[in-house]
Amino acid sequence: MTRAQLERDFERFKRALPRDFAAHVRDSYRVDLSARYLGCPLAHPIGKGSGQLSLNAAQLADDAAAGLAYVVLKTVIAQDATGAQAMAAWAIHETRMKVERRPAGGRAGWTVTWKGRGWDRSFEEYLELVRTGRGITAESRMPVVPSAKYHLPRLGEPFRDEEYQYTTRRLAETWGVPPLLLEVDFSPTLAGDALAGDRAQILRWLREVPGRIRAASPTPARLAVKLMNARYDDAFQLEMMAACADAEALVCFNRLFDAERGVAYGGWELSDRNLRVLDATSDPLTARPPDRPSLVGTGNICSGRMILEYARRGCESVQLHTFFQLPLSEYPATHGSRTQRALHALVFHPQDGLVAGMLELEESGALARHDGVLYFLDVARRAH
Ligand SMILES: Cc1cc2nc3c(=O)[nH]c(=O)nc-3n(C[C@H](O)[C@H](O)[C@H](O)COP(=O)(O)O)c2cc1C
């Protein structure tokens, strides 16, 4: 009965996805998709990761209209009051992106190849985008959160506090009503840089950066640290997570770095690695403290099933980039924006969608109803 209804919804929503599809899922299937990001309650777990798809007002408006849960803006490179940027090498201009197939272990997959790095326009233009995002949040309740990359010194060198102070103060003023929500990026190109050649240096950044941003903010701030996939083993990923105990959330983990080609990449190798490391965090010997930080998944999320893989390892929401960028022919929906088509497949696909996956967890006894309702957040809660 429920399966037949899922097939029917999948078919009819190919033409148009209801804006409040989470309410439809709750009413029709008694499945509650509520999720969380940096303490914000979300209608469902699917957000957009920072990158080339959150650069302008038109993209944000499309995402709000599609019913996306939240958006993280492109990463801006911090500066001081004179405009000096210690990390200026990350503020380069590059427009060409290539969406490519990247199979791994017999599985078809995708990656986006791109040589660019951070926000390449002025800081004032970035603040204008943050302001636009605040307006969209007020109208649609879709959180739009800035992302920044700050000065990262070599061991023994001091942090450039002027950059931390100026950038954070301007972001907080533009944001308005506290708390400021902010993501801090430690990007894959950083993992490929000589700066990240020293483990102690990376751990110092992770230990100190959240506190420096908090100290620089004139209002209370909630910080998500987006961790890179460093060029070391899984144990070091766990060390990085532990070093960041001071953040409110950890986004696990940004793309892998191909040193030969000098580009970041995703696909199955990325999700294999991320899920393997997150698995290790539920090992009692390496377990994180139960109260914080909360976890957010990213990497090769192309189905509701994959959202549940991250959720089963504790992630309370997810951030996608590549799946919002595929050729239109790859989505089963026939109408709507790419975001709508992606959401349609992620939520309603009768085999691989989020609803189907939740019902399957129930059938296998891995997830139980409360007062007749299945809760997405119960999947993440069980991981702790
Ligand atoms: C073209 C491109 C640009 C990106 N730029 C940023 C960025 O500026 N800051 C950031 O934190 N992550 C950035 N990312 C990482 C994505 O937000 C996302 O975490 C990552 O691609 C893994 O998700 P996916 O497999 O769904 O693409 C970028 C990814 C791509 C493909």
3 state SS for the chain: CHHHHHHHHHHHCCCCCCCCHHHHHHHHHCEECCEEECCEEECCCEEECCCCCCCCHHHHHHHHHHCCCEEEEEEEECCCCCCCCCCHHHCCCCCCEEEEECCECCECCEEEEECCCCCCCCHHHHHHHHHHHHHHHHHHCCCEEEEEECCCCCCCCCCCHHHHHHHHHHHHHHHCCCCEEEEEECCHHHHCCHHHCCHHHHHHHHHHHHHHHHHHCCCCEEEEEECCCCCCCHHHHHHHHHHCCCCCEEEECCCEEECCCCEEECCHHHHHHHHHHHHHHCCCCCCCCCCCCEEEEECCCCCHHHHHHHHHCCEEEEEECHHHCCCHHHCCCCCCCHHHHHHHHHHHCCCCCHHHHHHHHHHCCCCCCECCEEEHHHHHHHCC
Pocket test for ligand 1, best of 46, 48, 50 (most atoms within 8 A of CB): 50
The Cα 210–Cα 206 span in angstroms is 7
Out of 88-92, 95-99, 254-258, 328-332, give the one with best mean pLDDT: 328-332
| Residue to substitute in 255, 318, 325 for testing ligand 1 pocket (most ligand atoms within 8 angstroms of CB) | 255
* Nearest atom within ligand 1 for CA of residue 266: 25
For ligand 1, say whether the CB of 303 is within 6 Å of any of its atoms.
no
> Among residues of the chain, what percentage have pLDDT more than 70?
95
**What's the pLDDT score for residue 103?**
92
pLDDT at 300 over 70: yes
- Global pTM value: 0.96
Instruction: Return the ∠ at Cα 299 (arms to 220 and 378), rounded to 5°.
Output: 65
| Closest ligand 1 atom number to CA of residue 97 | 1
Q: What b/e sequence results for 2-20 when a residue is b if at least 16 CB atoms lie within 10 Å of its CB, and e otherwise?
A: eeeebeebbeebbeebeee
Residue 189: CB partners within 8 Å, gap ≥ 6?
A: 90, 117, 257, 264
Cα gap 247→252, rounded to integer Å: 13
Nearest-CA residue for ligand 1 atom 4 is: 51
Quote the ligand 1 centre to 49 CA distance (angstroms).
6
**Ligand 1 within 6 A of CB of 274:** no
Written as six digits, the tokens of 3 are 């399966």
- Count of alpha carbons within 13 angstroms of residue 365, beta-carbon side: 0
Average pLDDT, stretch 213-238? Answer: 95
Q: What is the mean pLDDT of residues 339-345?
A: 98
C-alpha of residue 30 to centroid of ligand 1, in Å = 33
Ligand 1 center from residue 251 Cα (angstroms): 11
Using the mean position of ligand 1's atoms as its centre, give its distance from the Cα of residue 254 in Å: 7
**Residue 183 alpha carbon, nearest atom of ligand 1:** 11
Q: Which comes out higher in pLDDT, residue 193 or 332? A: 332
Residue 116: what pLDDT?
75
pLDDT at 283 over 70: no
Mean pLDDT of the chain: 93
Rounded CA gap, 43 and 21, in Å? 9
Confidence class for position 28, pLDDT limits 50, 70, 90 = very high
* Residue 86: pLDDT over 90: no
Which pLDDT value is given to residue 186? 87
Segment 27-40 mean pLDDT: 97
| Res 384 pLDDT > 70 | no
pLDDT at 224 over 60: yes
Q: Are 170 and 124 in contact (CB under 8 A)?
A: no
Q: Give the CA angle between residues 250, 253, 256 to the nearest 5°.
A: 160
Cα–Cα distances in angstroms (integers) from residue 156 to residues 84, 159, 197, 205, 216, in the given order = 21, 10, 15, 12, 21
| Centroid of ligand 1 to alpha carbon of 259 (angstroms) | 17
Widest pairwise Cα distance in the chain: 65
Separation of CA 240 and ligand 1 centre (Å): 19
pLDDT on residue 291: 65
The residue with greater pLDDT, 135 or 259, is: 135
CA of 300, closest atom in ligand 1: 25
Pick the closest to residue 71 from 115, 40, 31 (CA basis): 40
Task: Output the residue whose Cα is nearest ligand 1's atom 22.
Answer: 299
Higher pLDDT, 348 or 194: 348
Q: Say what the pLDDT of residue 156 is.
A: 86
Distance 51 CA to ligand 1 centre (A): 5
pLDDT digits (tens, 9 = 90+) for 131-176: 999 999 999 999 999 999 999 998 889 999 999 999 999 999 999 9
Binding site membership of 271 for ligand 1 (Cβ less than 6 Å): no
pLDDT recorded at residue 188: 67
Distance 75 CA to ligand 1 centre (A): 10
With a 6 A CB cut-off, is 280 part of the ligand 1 pocket?
no
pLDDT confidence band for 88 (50 / 70 / 90): confident
Read off the pLDDT band of 96 (50, 70, 90): confident
Q: How much is the pLDDT for 354?
A: 98
Query: Ligand 1 centroid vs 90 CA: distance in angstroms?
Result: 14
106 CA from centroid of ligand 1 (Å): 24
Closest Cα to atom 21 of ligand 1: 321
Mean pLDDT on 198-211: 93
Testing ligand 1's pocket by substitution, the residue of 59, 96, 321 carrying the most ligand atoms inside 8 A of its CB is 321
Q: Is any ligand 1 atom within 6 A of the Cβ of residue 300?
A: yes
Whether 45 shows a pLDDT value over 90: the answer reads: yes
